[in-house]
């Protein structure tokens, strides 16, 4: 076995790297510790940008994988397997000698002692801290809705939604009561942002194409897919003309779009939308997110969504060595807060890495962070996406090709790119989906 330190002092790395054949060239004895919490887009890009900076980097995540969230809806609708949009964080960072990865859940931050508290009461000391802990579902004060209307943030949620959707068809096949059968074949999506729109299109494809010849007692084509939105229109992040085109495309796919329709109640047999009860065994929450509890850990000032207000260098007021990035940060640019999208997290992660690199080198870092909007896209079923890049707008097949190419490019790992590309090819040509698995909800628990 390796040598392990006998004692733990607060401002020393908890487990000192052993010396072995794989160790890099000698480095100064004490390098500043950079701790990154969360290996989503922001955290992972910050870590990568620190690869050649003379610091020790520790990436902490409660999952062992980086998740490519933009394609999570395809896991929830049985097109892709979870592993195809996930990459082990260790594996992604394995060649980065100054970086280690810890699987663990962060419980808090001791800003006085400069250390991060983990779930097993261990501490990880830091000189610089980057919190990239993302967002979670927010039910606007109705947390009781969560049990019946799951959100789509993690692999566990995605496979639970996949099970829910596939099981609804199976139960409908065995149901003899027409009303109950109808409720089983009704799918309600609450919230018409990109995730809601993409889920609606994917469920429509499942019901109207993939499953059509598989059942004997139900016509899956008759499944009803309802996309509801409290605001006057769908896809508020896009301009009105593109959103209108997306809505028309949704209608063509057989999706009912209801705008100006706030959800008033949700239970496990349906939802009340703008005064009308829709019996539905499957309700999926694609509406609101709130920031992770990073603001509470720091006792920092947050906005209404719980996001930590950060300054021009993305650091937290009063804590120049603590940075909050991505969905957990509230950064105001040109008078407006930046949206919770991957590009903001990535650019902030890279900026923070450069700030730290300059500070470690004793150089000033004069430039404030500035987000460069690289555009926005959403896909509506097969062969149709809307794309908005600068002043360029397109809707349809061209947009879909752009969507396809960009998503394959940004997926991490050569293998995943090829497998996802192949799964899409088969899906697009045969309608058959690669991951139509109902795995038991009675997950076995082992110690």
Binding residues for a copy of itself restricted to 270-299, rule: CB under 8 A = none
Q: Which residue's structure tokens are 């692999």?
A: 155
Q: Which stretch binds a copy of itself (CB under 8 A): 130-138, 144-152, 329-337, 380-388?
A: 144-152
Least distance in angstroms from the C-beta of 40 to a copy of itself? 16
The sign one gets for the Cα dihedral 375, 199, 340, 105 is negative
Residue nearer to a copy of itself on the CB measure, 6 or 334: 6
Give a three-class secondary structure readout of 386-437. Answer: EEEECCEEEEEHHHHHHHHHHHHHHCCCHHHHHHHHHHHHHHHHHCCCCCCC
CB-facing half-sphere around the CA of 369: CA atoms within 13 A? 30
Least distance in angstroms from the C-beta of 330 to a copy of itself? 29
Least distance in angstroms from the C-beta of 61 to a copy of itself? 11
CA distance 207 to 224: 9
Provide the pairing of β-strand 186-190 with 224-228: parallel
Q: Which residue's structure tokens are 């606007």?
A: 140
Give the angle subtended at the CA of 308 by the CAs of 410 and 70, to the nearest 5°: 20
How many residues touch a copy of itself (CB under 8 A)? 81
For residues 48 to 67, the per-residue mask of contacts with a copy of itself, x marking binding by CB under 8 A and - elsewhere, is ---------------xxx--
Residue nearer to a copy of itself on the CB measure, 226 or 420: 420
Q: Which residue's structure tokens are 């300059």?
A: 358
Residue nearer to a copy of itself on the CB measure, 241 or 415: 415
Binders of a copy of itself among residues 382 to 421 (CB under 8 A) are: 415, 418-419
Least distance in angstroms from the C-beta of 418 to a copy of itself? 7
CA distance 161 to 179: 22
For residues 77 to 116, the per-residue mask of contacts with a copy of itself, x marking binding by CB under 8 A and - elsewhere, is ----xxxx-x-x-xx--xx----xxxxx------------
Identify the residue among 140, 274, 422, 428 touching a copy of itself (CB under 8 A). 422
Distance from chain centroid for Cα 287 = 14
Q: Which stretch binds a copy of itself (CB under 8 A): 143-151, 356-364, 384-392, 403-411?
A: 143-151
Residue nearer to a copy of itself on the CB measure, 210 or 315: 210
Percentages of the chain per state (helix, strand, coil), in multiples of 5: 35, 25, 45
Residue nearer to a copy of itself on the CB measure, 11 or 312: 11
Binders of a copy of itself among residues 155 to 174 (CB under 8 A) are: 155-157, 159-160, 163-164, 166-167, 170, 173-174
Binders of a copy of itself among residues 210 to 269 (CB under 8 A) are: 211, 213-219, 222, 268
Give the angle subtended at the CA of 208 by the CAs of 146 and 229, to the nearest 5°: 40
Single out the catalytic residue among 3, 198, 229, 256: 198
Q: Is-catalytic flag, 198?
A: yes
Two structure tokens written together for 191: 């919230």
Residue nearer to a copy of itself on the CB measure, 92 or 314: 92
Under the criterion CB under 8 A, does residue 208 sit at the interface with a copy of itself?
no
Are the beta carbons of 203 and 225 closer than 8 angstroms? yes
Identify the residue among 28, 52, 372, 443 touching a copy of itself (CB under 8 A). 443
Residue nearer to a copy of itself on the CB measure, 144 or 301: 144
Identify the residue among 9, 22, 304, 372 touching a copy of itself (CB under 8 A). 22
Residues 6+ away with beta carbon under 8 Å from 226: 186, 187, 188, 189, 255, 256, 258, 273, 278, 280
Residues 6+ away with beta carbon under 8 Å from 330: 302, 303, 305, 307, 308, 309, 310, 337
Under the criterion CB under 8 A, does residue 446 sit at the interface with a copy of itself?
yes
Under the criterion CB under 8 A, does residue 121 sit at the interface with a copy of itself?
no
β-sheet bridge partners, residue 60: 37, 102
What letter does residue 171 receive in the DSSP assignment?
A: H
Binders of a copy of itself among residues 173 to 192 (CB under 8 A) are: 173-174, 176-178, 181-182
Residues with catalytic function: 198
């Amino acid at each position: 076995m390796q040598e392990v330190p006998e004692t733990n002092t607060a401002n020393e790395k908890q487990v000192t790297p052993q010396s072995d054949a794989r160790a890099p060239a000698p480095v100064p004895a004490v390098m500043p510790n950079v701790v990154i919490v969360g290996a989503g887009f922001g955290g992972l890009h910050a870590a990568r940008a620190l690869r050649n900076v003379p610091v020790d980097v520790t990436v902490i995540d409660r999952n062992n994988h980086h998740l490519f969230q933009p394609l999570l809806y395809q896991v929830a609708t049985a097109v892709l397997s979870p592993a195809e949009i996930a990459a082990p964080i260790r594996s992604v960072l394995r060649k980065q000698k100054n970086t280690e990865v810890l699987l663990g859940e962060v419980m808090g931050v001791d800003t006085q002692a400069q250390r991060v508290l983990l779930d097993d009461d261990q501490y990880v000391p830091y000189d610089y801290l980057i919190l990239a802990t993302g967002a979670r579902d927010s039910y606007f004060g109705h947390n009781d809705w969560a049990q019946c209307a799951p959100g789509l943030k993690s692999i566990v949620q995605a496979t639970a939604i996949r099970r829910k959707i596939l099981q609804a068809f199976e139960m409908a096949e065995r149901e003899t009561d027409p009303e109950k059968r109808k409720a089983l074949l009704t799918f309600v999506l609450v919230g018409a942002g990109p995730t809601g729109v993409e889920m609606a299109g994917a469920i429509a494809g499942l019901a109207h194409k993939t499953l059509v010849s598989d059942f004997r007692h139900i016509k899956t084509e008759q499944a009803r897919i309802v996309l509801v939105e409290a605001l006057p229109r769908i896809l508020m992040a896009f301009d009105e003309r593109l959103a209108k085109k997306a809505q028309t495309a949704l209608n063509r796919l057989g999706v009912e779009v209801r705008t100006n329709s706030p959800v008033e109640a949700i239970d496990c047999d349906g939802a009340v939308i703008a005064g009308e009860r829709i019996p539905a065994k499957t309700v999926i929450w694609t509406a609101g997110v709130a920031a992770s509890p990073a603001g509470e850990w720091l006792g920092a000032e947050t906005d209404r969504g719980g996001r930590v207000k950060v300054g021009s260098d993305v650091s937290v007021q009063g804590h120049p060595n603590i940075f909050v990035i991505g969905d957990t940060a509230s950064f105001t640019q040109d008078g407006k807060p930046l949206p919770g999208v991957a590009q903001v997290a990535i650019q902030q992660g890279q900026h923070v890495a450069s700030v730290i690199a300059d500070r470690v080198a004793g150089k000033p870092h004069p430039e404030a962070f500035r987000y460069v909007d690289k555009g926005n896209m959403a896909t509506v079923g097969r062969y149709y996406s809307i794309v908005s890049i600068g002043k360029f707008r397109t809707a349809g097949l061209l947009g879909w090709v752009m969507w396809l190419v960009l998503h394959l490019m940004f997926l991490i790992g050569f293998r995943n790119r090829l497998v996802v590309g192949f799964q899409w090819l088969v899906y697009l040509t045969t309608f058959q989906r690669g991951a139509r698995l109902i795995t038991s909800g009675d997950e076995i628990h082992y110690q």
